[in-house]
Structure 1
Amino acid sequence: MRVLVVEPERRPEVREIDDSLKAMQEIVGGYIQPIYLDNSVALVCNDEGKLMNLPANRGLRNKSGQMYDIVFGTFFLCGTPADSDHFTSLTMEQIEQYRKLFYTPEMFWGMGGHIVCLPLEVD
């Protein structure tokens, strides 16, 4: 299965993984939690990432660009066809769309009761 893996402080990377729960859990480091970004793509992260104090990775934003949540720890994106109950490979178009969306690593700080998100430049 072709997925896009997003690690904290790194740029997204395309990987081929087994279509198994074990392979998915190895990437995220524990129990998986899918977050459906649209009707054909899921962001799969560690279900307990915040509780485990995994590093903050990327902000999730609504259509107007407002951040509504932060994903902690490594996550991956995969396909979720409407007529299937299994995750599938991303298409090349989906890879490009989500590589652009999550291309720049981010850093987060608590400041005055708000969370500040800044881009992190990496090589």
Structure 2
Amino acid sequence: MRVVIANPGKRAYVADIDPGLESMQRVVGGLIELWAVDGAAHFLCNEEGRLIGLPLNRFVTLSDGTVWDIYGPILVVGGNAEDGTFTSLPEAEAMRWVSQLNRSILRKVSI
């Protein structure tokens, strides 16, 4: 499954991971939290990132104006909002999020 990974303080990149919950949990380092959906892209992070002391990654402003501070890795996957499945990102979508996340290392990103 093609995904985008953005680790704290580092540039985002495209990666291929095995599909499935275990692979996604490995990337974020624990329980997965879905914290944003932008069209066909789903943004996942560690549900307990702040509580367990993971480093600050990025501040994210959602389309409704809510600002989140994300701790630990960010995983961007494709998805279907209707049935809740996670899928591979199309190449163009993956490159769009790599670019956007790389412009926002330790700064705000809007989605």
Shorter-normalised TM-score: what interval? 0.7 to 0.9
CA contact 2:36–2:62 (8 Å) conserved in 1: no
User: Paired residue for 1:7?
Assistant: 7
Deviations 1:37-59 (A, max 9, x none): 32311111100001111100011
Q: Give the length in aligned residue pairs.
A: 107
Q: Is the 8 A contact 1:59 1:67 kept in 2?
A: no
User: 1:60 is matched with which residue?
Assistant: 60
- Percent identity between matched residues is 30
34-43 or 53-62: which moved more? 34-43
Residue identity in the other structure for 2:91: M
CA contact (8 A) 2:45 2:75 kept: yes
Q: 1:84 to 1:62 in 2, by over 3 A?
A: closer
Residues 44-100 of structure 1, C-alpha deviation per residue, up to 9 Å, x if partnerless?
Answer: 110000111110001102459x67111100121001124543200111221122112
Could you tell me the TM-score, scaled by structure 1's length? 0.77
Aligned to 2:93: 94
* Residues in 1 aligned to 2:21 and 2:37: alpha-carbon distance in whole angstroms: 20
Matched, 1:28 2:28: yes
CA distance in 1, matches of 2:63, 2:36: 14
SS of 1:77's partner is strand
Question: 2:27 corresponds to which letter in structure 1?
Answer: I
Indicate the residue corresponding to 1:19 in structure 2: 19
TM-score normalised by structure 2 residue count: 0.85
**4+ residue runs over 6 A deviation:** none
Other-structure match for 1:76: 75
**RMSD over equivalenced CA pairs, Å:** 2.0
Gaps of 5+ in 2: none
Larger radius of gyration: 1
Higher relative contact order (CA 8 A, sep 6+): 2
Letter of the 1:78 counterpart: V
